[in-house]
Structure 1
């Protein structure tokens, strides 16, 4: 849908990640018409864009599920109610009309909605850069791995100490020729079980070490592609590692973008909500990682529950005759 597109729905969901897709399904289940807008060209949010091959372990009903498979199932579930998708449409402005909200996108569309549910991730994610080797970005240095088979048979150095770094190391172990995990501290910031799994794997762990230098194979004037990495410890010990790929999993910096201009109460670069998932702005709700309240835990499963909670309150807001509680889906 291009410039000049006009859409009118009961609920606009901003963000087509897992929480947004489930919100679209649940709003349809509650009898609402729905539009889903996302700046990305496909559904799935950060999972589809950054981690489609990674296994997710905290979704009810799935002992483990590949990220893209989860997205596909959520899209199939939402598709039952035929939501209107505006992909490649980042929402830039929200204007109150008294009886609803009009959203404008950077692709020139206007969406009139009775309410808005913001389900984006924590804004736009800008990767924290490795202090050295930036000239090798796209030639061996990367900040995420959309497809594991791209690194098949390679010597891979993963840099970082959080969940993402350890998850990448474990995911790459079966396909890479070798995997070395480098972290500047002896302690990891990852889940204890993940740390244990890495310790029991063939992944070589180097702590406390930092990447000192990335070298190329000299195949062109720019230094070619990555061929080796030099890491140094705090006491001056140096190790040269063969590497065709370096995965710098150092985390991301959140950029809320237009959301900061929407007049919402924010905390820690997230949108503050009450126990009904309402924001400080009339008819605007939030759920998922973008939402914040005391005691919130950042899990996909939490986002699903928040989406359902928000949608039920939206339903009662748009039509006071509707019951807040939907009853059992098996009775519908």
Structure 2
């Protein structure tokens, strides 16, 4: 399988974020992508950089105001006397009372970021654009006739809405890949297997019937992102019935997950899409520090094998996974499962 990667991903490296009221070390380290790439090369995959596709595929998903904010936020923040080295929002809109758009970067940061888990550094914009570009390249490779392609995106994207980031995400790489495929294809399905609900992806496609969004994740009743990912969220307007959430109990194992995956695959098959995009998070692994679900490397292999069984042109986009000792084996196993072979990684 063709792998698209970028050597510049390490330019974005947030030193910390806020969890439980404390500054803690960020889990989204450059080593995540480096370990994955090393494993995939050992496993025989061809890994290449992507040609630039420009801003158009990104602008087809994200609003002009949000893109302008991401591009300029760090520079504007540094003009504030005594400001932190990275952009940290600290004033957020009150629900139902966001009737104006602020001119100050302080207000814009709260308007465009949903949490304190995505600080913006000097190179975040360039790296986020590069990450999205990989997803576009993978989608383009599939449009050119490949059966599948994988984008080693970092930062991840599935928590990014059209006008808002968070959860280590700035641009929604998977949604950008979906929209790029839609330029030439009629219907596209997006399935998210990250341990967290893909709230940004759901938000982007919630009113649409040309894109089916399916997410399997730990039940958000007591887990990030808390406010979305519940089974009753089925879409809105034209999109009603084209959103399927399958929340799972804490520490669900391979067997329970694969049973839920059958429901997801049946819905995808009924939708009859022309292509599939997979938000491939591997933080559902039993040893991941997110402690949500309890999948194994073999579980990820079987998940991808089942998705391959749908027989659709497929773009796989990297999302979460934060155990440095297991992430590479999980991803390599998933790609091997998709190709119906064993992994040597």
TM-score class normalised by the smaller sequence: 0.3 to 0.5
Q: TM-score, normalised by structure 1?
A: 0.32
Q: TM-score, normalised by structure 2?
A: 0.31
Larger Rg: 1
Structure with bigger helix share is 2
